[in-house]
Amino acid sequence: MGIIQIIIVLILYLLAKKIGNRLIKGSFNRQKNRAENPVRVNTVERIIVNIYNAVLVFLAMFSVLEIIGVPVGSLIAGAGVIGLAFSLGAQDFVSDIVNGFMIMMEGQIDIGDQVVIDGTWGTVADTNLKTTQVKGFDGSIYYIPNRKIEMICNRSKGNMRADVHIRLFPDTDTEKVRSIIRQVNKEKFPDYPTIVGEPNIIVHPMENGQASLRVDIFTKPGHEWNIQWDFFEYYISRLSQEGIKLPANTLDITPRAK
């Protein structure tokens, strides 16, 4: 009789796992079709599936132990004492889990985002309840315990601003320079679909007697660097062709969030 009951428990466990996982994934698949950020939906789906399967395993083991006559109540009481002792040495682990859960549920980061986490620059390679993996620009992988994460700068949540600074002599014809910059933008912008909106062209004085031209180009996340470098070359080349003399040390690139 006991064997039959165990078989029934295992069959029910397998059915519940198969049906439950299918329902969860089906629900999240519908969410992905409407979501602006399907990566975040995938992350939450993975967490829910893991929790659901863990609960099923616990219930199945509990039922089997009851069937074979193991005093489960006594085991749970003993496990409580052991768990208390274990928890004293596992506070860091619990802090990782709690912080990781909050990071995921609030959607602070997703896989593929460009981030700065407590001074570490790179792209999120993986994120889970225990650690966050960030791939540096040189290919290095940083494993950051979630409990250590105090500040996240996510450079992939909104449009970025590519600032191109070009120093000018004080007697430079700034209106001519503006006209040249606008012409370059008109010619080159169609080749860059990641540029969004209209740029700002600003000329302001500097302390050393020179003037500074700043062109703010707004881009989709992750494209600000290439656009800055490319358009700096375009501007310098065209200004030189048009006879505009420029001081030395003309480049100052500072990407900022919009």
Question: Looking at the domain assignment, is residue 98 inside a domain?
Answer: yes
The domain of 228 spans 160-242
User: Domain boundary residue among 105, 120, 141?
Assistant: 105
Question: Is residue 12 located within the same domain as residue 91?
Answer: yes
Structure token digits, residue 44: 């939450």
Question: Is residue 97 located within the same domain as residue 111?
Answer: no
Q: What is the pLDDT along the chain (258 residues), one digit of tens a residue?
A: 568 888 888 888 889 888 888 888 887 777 666 656 666 677 677 777 877 888 888 888 888 877 787 766 665 555 555 555 555 556 777 788 788 878 877 778 888 888 999 888 888 888 877 889 999 888 899 999 988 888 888 888 778 888 888 888 888 888 898 899 999 999 999 999 988 888 888 887 776 667 888 899 998 887 888 888 999 999 999 988 888 888 875 444 455 555
DSSP state of 105: H
Distance of alpha carbon 94 from alpha carbon 45, whole angstroms: 21
Question: Is residue 168 located within the same domain as residue 198?
Answer: yes
DSSP state of 172: S
pTM of the model: 0.54
Question: Is residue 150 located within the same domain as residue 164?
Answer: no
Question: Is residue 199 located within the same domain as residue 148?
Answer: no
Question: Is residue 10 located within the same domain as residue 85?
Answer: yes
Q: What pLDDT does 74 receive? A: 62
What is the CB neighbour count within 10 angstroms for residue 36? 6
Q: Provide the CATH number for the domain around residue 56.
A: 1.10.287.1260
Question: Looking at the domain assignment, is residue 257 inside a domain?
Answer: no
Q: Provide the CATH number for the domain around residue 170.
A: 3.30.70.100
Q: Provide the CATH number for the domain around residue 118.
A: 2.30.30.60
Question: Is residue 28 located within the same domain as residue 94?
Answer: yes
Question: Is residue 38 located within the same domain as residue 101?
Answer: yes
Question: Is residue 4 located within the same domain as residue 49?
Answer: yes
Question: Is residue 137 located within the same domain as residue 200?
Answer: no
Question: Looking at the domain assignment, is residue 196 inside a domain?
Answer: yes
DSSP state of 110: -
Distance of alpha carbon 192 from alpha carbon 88, whole angstroms: 56
In total, how many domains does the chain have? 3
- 77, amino acid identity: A
Question: Is residue 16 located within the same domain as residue 95?
Answer: yes
Closest CA to 215 of 249, 247, 174: 174
Question: Is residue 98 located within the same domain as residue 124?
Answer: no
Q: What pLDDT does 57 receive? A: 87
